[in-house]
Every structure is written in C-alpha cells, then in structure tokens.
Amino acid sequence: MISYRKRLAAVFILVLVIGLGIAYAGGKEGIAGWEKDSAYNKLYDLDEWDKFKGYVVSIKNITPLPGMATGVAVIVRDKEGGTVTVHLGPKSFVNPNTLGLRKGDKVSVRGCWAEIDDEEVFMAAKVKKGDYFEYKVRRTKDGTPYWTMSPQELAKEKAGQ
C-alpha cells in the first residue's frame, strides 16, 4: 500500500507537470517579444547580476518594449525605501493569480539590472519568500527564460534543483 506522503507527492508532481505543460503550450503563443533571442532578453546581462531583499508592494501588468506581449512584474520596496520594478515574464507564463506572492510579503530577488526607457528595472531569475517558497523564471547560470523551454527541458531543470 502506498503511503499518504507518497500519494501526495505523486499528485503534486502530476499537477506540476500538467501546469508546466499548460504554461508551455499557452506561453509559446503569448510570448511575442519575450523570445530567447529577443531584444528584451538581450538586456539580461550576467555582468549586471545582483540580489536584494524587500517587501511586495503590488503586482502589475507590463509591456517592457513596444510590440511585446503583456508581462507580469512585482513592485518591491527595498531596504532604502525605494521601489524596484521586478520583471518576471510574459503573462501567458506567469499567472498573477497563482503566483504565490501577495502585498506585504518579504522577498529576496535574484537577477540582473537593466535599463528600459530610461528606467532601471530588475529582470528576475528567482524570487524567494521564506524558507520554502521559490519562484524561478530563468536559469541562474545563463539567464535562459523558462518560458522558452520545452516541457522536457523544464522537467530536467526542475529535477536538477
């Protein structure tokens, strides 16, 4: 007989795989301007790698460059009291309703700084909340966006964590 924990883990993995497949299927159609070699993703420069901590102020829709599909950003108040717009990815991949982040959450953000329309923004690779919540949108070692990966590549990436 399979234990409750094993059944729960199996259900969790199944939901994760289905969710990644849906994100992949939906994301390919809604990522105009967010593609791996797009002008936007070329702004993700590992020489600008950084991390900071703060509190979620809001979650909003964004269009970083003209012609891009709608994306999702988190506005984070940093320890100096300023706000940082943290780009997460295209809305077809990042669902604000299931993101797991809420106003007031303390977060740690890792990624790269970029300048878009004379505004300093942060292109996230990962957002952490507490000890157990981590929302990854890019491969840390090279910045490859998860929304550009196939379900098989995503599964391999998740297995390597």
pLDDT for residue 141: 86
pLDDT for residue 160: 78
Q: Are the C-beta atoms of residues 77 and 53 closer than 8 Å to each other? A: no
Instruction: Classify 80 as helix, strand or coil.
Output: coil
Six-digit token string for 136: 């990854």
pLDDT for residue 55: 98
Q: Are the C-beta atoms of residues 86 and 124 closer than 8 Å to each other? A: yes
Write down the pTM of the prediction.
0.81
Q: Which domain holds residue 120?
A: 4-159
R_g (Cα) of the chain, nearest Å: 16
Low-confidence ranges of the chain (pLDDT < 70): 1-29, 161
Task: Residue 146: give its domain's CATH number.
Answer: 2.40.50.140
Q: How many domains does the chain have?
A: 1
Residue that has been written with the tokens 């460059």 in this structure: 65
The 8-class DSSP code of residue 45 comes to -
Distance CA 85, CA 121 (A): 5
